[in-house]
Amino acid sequence: MLAKRPLDPQQALVVDVITKYFHLPKPPLWKRLLGAKETLPAPGMLPTVKNGAKEPVAAVDHVSFTVARGEIFGVLGPNGSGKSTLIRLISTLLKADKGSAKVFGIDIAEDEMGVKQLISRVSVDAAFFKKLSPMENLLYGARLYGVTGPQATVRAYEIMGRLGLKRSTYAEPMEEMSRGMQQKVAIARAFLTSPILLLLDEPTTGLDPRSKRDVRAFIEELRDSHDATILITTHDMEEADVICDRVAVIHNGKLVATGTPEELKRSISNSGKLPTLEDVFIHLTGEQLIDVDGAKVPLSG
């Protein structure tokens, strides 16, 4: 069960200049002479690497923002912009090289277990026991959070039903389910423990339009009925526009804009016609949306 500890009543998440470096092999000399080196961070901005064998690259570069309690906060950015790395840092799966983050006042570096008790995470590449059924995977996850068997079973039936999973699939092996169906189970598993901070890394990828609508409705219900705060990364600009109270745009590891969808639209408007969030994204990043499978996301309108 969750440990009894005082929680920050106002700020669910405070991220303060958090930074994460990855050390990548240097490109061959001929590539560097042709300009490939220009894509790497400027020398002097990053830690020195002995022997010059590898180039340190900032996947998340001095990012700062706050998320209020009960807020749905979106993080938008091109592939490789650092969104998923940011989620992994907050969920304690990675350790930051600089900066800090606090979940309801609890420092992720100083009290990792305390933070884990307050959060749940859904990623686009969620892992399961593939030989087990959705129900078995959910009940196993529930036990890790101290939720009793009978209580977890009732809630698992309720959540999977709300997400549109047919009862005939509850006992089937996960390996026989489609990617979209597996993603629904991942979302159900995260919702099952009623976390007060839910980290969703592209949760609706692979879902059909109706399933996406079901998930969006459930996210809003979780926020409104269970006092949950949600941080979501997505490539779906319509999704971000509809459900996010505020959004942050990340490009090349840096935070380039933060605000409500309306504020960001108005910030680039040069006429009476309000641009779309997709227009904002392309204006700020100079890139078209690409989904996790490498396909271009069609622009609306």
Q: Would the pLDDT of 92 be above 80? A: yes
pTM for this entry: 0.79
> Tokens at residue 47, please?
């830690």
Residue 48 — very low, low, confident or very high, per pLDDT cuts 50/70/90?
Answer: very low
The span from the CA of 237 to the CA of 261, in Å, is 10
Separation between Cα atoms, residue 286 and residue 267, nearest integer Å: 16
Q: For residues 256 and 271, what is the distance between their CA atoms, to the nearest angstrom?
A: 23
- The phi and psi torsions of 100 (rounded to 5 degrees) equal -155, 170
Q: Over the chain, what is the mean pLDDT? A: 82
Q: Check pLDDT > 60 for residue 122.
A: yes
- Edge-to-edge strand ranges of the sheet holding 119-122: 119-122, 197-201, 229-233, 72-76, 246-251, 254-259
- Please tell me the distance from the alpha carbon of residue 183 to that of residue 269, in angstroms, as a whole number: 37
Q: Letter for the amino acid at 153? A: T
Q: Answer yes or no: are the C-beta atoms of 284 and 276 closer than 8 Å.
A: no
- pLDDT higher than 60, residue 250: yes
DSSP string spanning 118-135? TEEEE-TT----TTS-HH
Buried b (16+ CB within 10 A) or exposed e, 74-106: bbbbbeebbbbbbbbbbbbebebbebebbbbbb
- Give me the DSSP letters along 43-91: TTSS---GGG-EEEEEEEEEEEEEEETT-EEEEE--TTSSHHHHHHHHT
- What's the average model confidence in pLDDT over 68-74? 94
Domain boundaries, the chain: 1-118+199-301, 125-194
Joined together, the tokens standing for residue 164 give 């549109």
**Average pLDDT value for residue range 229-246:** 92
Q: In the 8-state DSSP scheme, what is residue 297?
A: P
108-142 per-residue burial string, b: 16 or more CB within 10 A, e: under 16:
beebeebbbbbbbbbbbebebeeebbbbbbbbebb
Please report which confidence band the pLDDT of residue 201 belongs to, taking 50, 70 and 90 as the band edges: very high
CATH level 3 topology of 1-118+199-301:
Rossmann fold (3.40.50)
- Residue 225's pLDDT band (cuts 50, 70, 90): confident
pLDDT recorded at residue 60: 96
